[in-house]
Amino acid sequence: MKLSPAWLREFVDAKVDDRRLAQDLTAVGIAVENISGEGKNTVFEMEIGTNRPDAMNHYGVAREASVIYNVPLRTVDSKLPAAPGNSDFVVEIVDGAGCARYTARVVRDVNIKPSPDAVAKRLLLVDQRPINNAADATNYTLWEMGHPTHVFDLDLLEGGKMLVRRAFSGETLKTLDGVARKLTPEDLVIADAVKPVALAGVMGGFDTMITEKTKNILIESAWFDPATVRKTARRHGLHTDASHRFERGADFEATTKACDRVAVLLLESAGGKLHGGAIDVVARQVDLAPVALHLSEVHRILGERLETNEIFRILQQLGFELMPERGGDPDFTVHIPSWRLDVEREIDLVEEIARLHGYDKFANTLPAYAGAVVEAPDAEKDSRMRTTLLALGYDEAVSLTFISHQDAETFSSAPVVELANPQSEEASVMRSSLLPGMLNMLAYNLNRGADQVRLFEAGSVFEATDGGTAEPKRICMGATSPPLQKTQEWGTHDGGFFDLKGDVENLLHAFQHKSLKCDAQTSDYYHPGRSARVLMDGVPVAQFGQIYAEVASARKLRQNVFVAEIYLDRLYPQGLRVVRYQSLPRYPAVERDFSFVFDDGVTFEKIQQAVIGLGLAQLRSFVPVEIFRGGSVPAGKYSLLLRARFQSAERTLREEEVAQWSTQIIRALEDLGGKLRA
């Protein structure tokens, strides 16, 4: 959101320039991300946490500045002239659970016209389009003190009364955006005696909006239940400045002040006169429970003894009321101001003290600790994996821990952990796989011109179990490959399947094992024939390969993308391999090549197992060198050049024994159906 420092200074006399003000606000958690404009047109682009709706306005931020600089905070001008007579308009709260308080005022004989330049310019600074002096008065109040309000054309309200109730089944409401919306009994509405005139806390109605013909106005200021507003806004696909604040918790005590402030602005710009006093209906009280504060706990957590006067000053200027307790346990009972719904516990108060005192004022010391240092059980293995991946050229990245239901179904078969209050459908469950986040990060880089990317992420996934939630650890690797040139063969370029296979093997060889094999049993989102599963001593510990074309195109990935998933909960029981020194052999090695033709159904794994099964003690390696199809090789078959390497650590090998071993290898391969080429 955008705020004007010139507007802030109406409430607090900060003797610093705008850039220093921005730095100081950011240091206490009211982040200024950017500064634009000059002089009175300077604008702060703010990043306010969702738990701080009290700071989503100029007055709330000015309150923070008053504590930072220890200067008084001026009040908002809401002083109204005496209003003759009594208003005969009636307000009734039918649904007290959805609306705890509703305040209204009647202003008659107004002149609707454009707002004064001072008001219009300030609204434009914070990206608000001026409409007319009545609507602008509500927007100005919202951005000034943070409480949403609304104005109705009083003459278009039927029956002389306003009801806050649930919608009736089948009712419709045309909102200010011109859309006719079908309502359900779950929707909280503002209604006159005949019809709904507004979605409570979200948007007003089209048929009662202020126009140039309006002469009499009803000002509304209320407190609506956050969950009710949130559900209504999402059900109708609306997100407004009002709903943004009501969803996060408005100030119960601010309804009368906000209503009066709108009336002040309206009388200044539109003339008219008040008719009667405020109509203030309270269905239930919204009280915040007091919190016990122990000075010893403040000092213990902060690691430094602060003066009691400093603690008093910070909390009192923030609006907290401290009541000393006899006996000193606790030292104080703190009454929470109505606008600070985020403060519920003693630790919240300690945080307020720390951030307004200034984190930079605390000495850089390590916390006191008595006892042995406890290291995470897998710290060495985690470090080895991370170090190796960095050495292989992968950059570590971090993605969100929330994914959509669709991604969970695509990339995992594990039961998902649902979020009770998701931000959106795209982030409605805890991730059951690291792949959605990895693909999003790869797409982000590709869309910005980086065609060769190597990333990895280490973290937990979340799976629902009968006893709660399991959080197995995973590593996900991702690599992109540039589009193939006409002269290139698949897999010969950086980032190809065999490159990734080598990286995975490099990682896994750090662990003790007797056998490391690959097969083709991979998940459906991998490309068949360009993916593999890795088994270490018979246990599946990883799978890797090229993402299937349909999955890649759904995420608009226009290049080959290769990923690997490593299951650390299965890998880590193996333990790290101990590196041992072995001297170089004194005696030469002997190599023999074998060229065979095999059926396509014969895999190298079968060939390797057949040769290793011979138990040749001096056989050091047996690897494929070259594969060939076509030409003189019949269809359905392939030619494979194999190389065996023999070596002894005790003597030079004799020609006849190498010939004998070679004959055994030839017979074993012929038993597989292979034909030796001349």
pLDDT band at 585 (very low <50, low <70, confident <90, very high): confident
Residues 274 and 309 both lie in one domain = no
Which residues touch 342 (CB under 8 Å, ≥6 apart)? 51, 52, 249, 348
pLDDT at 377 over 80: yes
Q: Which residues, including other chains, have CB under 8 Å from residue 299's CB and lie 6 or more apart?
A: 305, 306
Tokens of 375: 């290291």
Is there a single domain that holds both residue 175 and residue 197? yes
CATH code of 24's domain: 3.30.56.10
Which among 139, 195, 145, 204 has a CA at the least distance from the CA of 170?
195
The first and second tokens of residue 249, run together, are 């918790």
420 and 530 share one domain: yes
Look at residues 302, 329, 361 and tell me which one is the last residue of a structural domain. 361
Question: Does 338 map to a domain?
Answer: yes
Q: Which of 274, 219, 270 is nearest to 85 (CA)?
A: 274
Same domain for 37 and 59, yes or no, is yes
Q: What are the φ/ψ torsions at residue 168 (nearest 5 degrees)?
A: -85, 150
Q: Which amino acid appears at position 517 of this protein?
A: K
User: What residue type is assigned to position 577 of the chain?
Assistant: R
Q: How many residues are recorded in the chain?
A: 678
**At a CB cut-off of 8 Å and minimum separation 6, what does 515 contact?**
535, 536, 537, 538
Query: Does 543 share its domain with 400?
Result: yes
Whether 356 maps to a domain, the answer reads: yes
> In this structure, are 96 and 232 located in the same domain?
yes
Helix (H/G/I), strand (E/B), else coil: 419:
coil
Total-model pTM: 0.61
Distance CA 665, CA 657 (A): 13
Average pLDDT rounded to a whole number, residues 46-71: 95
Tens of pLDDT, residues 419-430 = 988 888 889 999
Which of 282, 302, 321 is the last residue before a domain boundary? 282
Instruction: For 209-232, write each residue's pLDDT tens digit.
Output: 999 999 999 999 999 999 999 999
Rounded Cα gap, residues 609 and 630, in angstroms: 26
Q: Does 328 or 384 have the greater pLDDT score?
A: 384
Looking at residue 148, what is its pLDDT?
Answer: 97
- pLDDT at residue 484 above 70? no
Shared domain for 239 and 325, answered yes or no, is no
Q: Tens digit of pLDDT for each residue in 193-205?
A: 999 999 999 999 9
560 beta partners: 481
**What b/e string do you get for 83-115 counting C-beta neighbours within 10 Å, with b at 16 or more?**
beeebebebebebeebbbbbbbbbbeebebeeb
Q: Is residue 581 part of a domain?
A: no
Q: Report CA 34 to chain centroid distance, whole Å.
A: 21
pLDDT digits (tens, 9 = 90+) for 617-663: 999 999 999 999 998 899 999 999 999 999 998 999 999 999 999 99
Give a yes or no: residue 366 inside a domain: no
Whether 232 and 317 share a structural domain: no
User: Do 242 and 103 lie in a common domain?
Assistant: yes
Q: Do 175 and 151 meet the contact criterion of CB atoms below 8 Å apart?
A: no
Q: How confident is the model at residue 15 (pLDDT cuts 50, 70, 90)?
A: very high
Are 64 and 13 in contact by the 8 Å Cβ rule? The answer is: no
Residue type, 678: A
68-118 pLDDT, tens digit per residue, is 999 999 999 989 988 877 788 999 999 999 999 999 999 999 999 999 999
User: Residue 24 belongs to what domain range?
Assistant: 2-69
Q: Answer yes or no: do 434 and 535 share one domain.
A: yes
Residue 482 has pLDDT above 90, yes or no: no
b/e sequence 605-640, b meaning 16+ C-beta within 10 Å: eebeebbeeeebebbeebeeeeeeeeeeeeeebbbb
Q: What does the pLDDT read at residue 491?
A: 42
Residue 98 shares a structural domain with residue 247: yes
Tell me if 83 is assigned to some domain. no
Any domain includes 79: no
Q: Residues 429, 512: one domain? A: yes
CATH number of the domain enclosing 103: 3.50.40.10
Convert the pLDDT of each residue in 244-273 to its tens digit: 999 999 999 999 999 999 999 999 999 999
Residue 456's domain is classified under what CATH number? 3.30.930.10
The confidence score (pLDDT) of residue 489 equals 44
Q: Give the integer Cα–Cα distance in Å for 678 and 666.
A: 13
pLDDT, position 230: 96
* Residue 57 in this model has a pLDDT that exceeds 70: yes
Q: Looking at the domain assignment, is residue 374 inside a domain?
A: no
pLDDT tens string 535-574: 999 999 999 999 998 898 888 888 889 999 999 999 999 9
Separation of alpha carbons 487 and 484, rounded Å = 8
Q: Is residue 372 part of a domain?
A: no
CATH code of the domain containing 596: 3.30.70.380
- Say how many domains are in the chain: 5
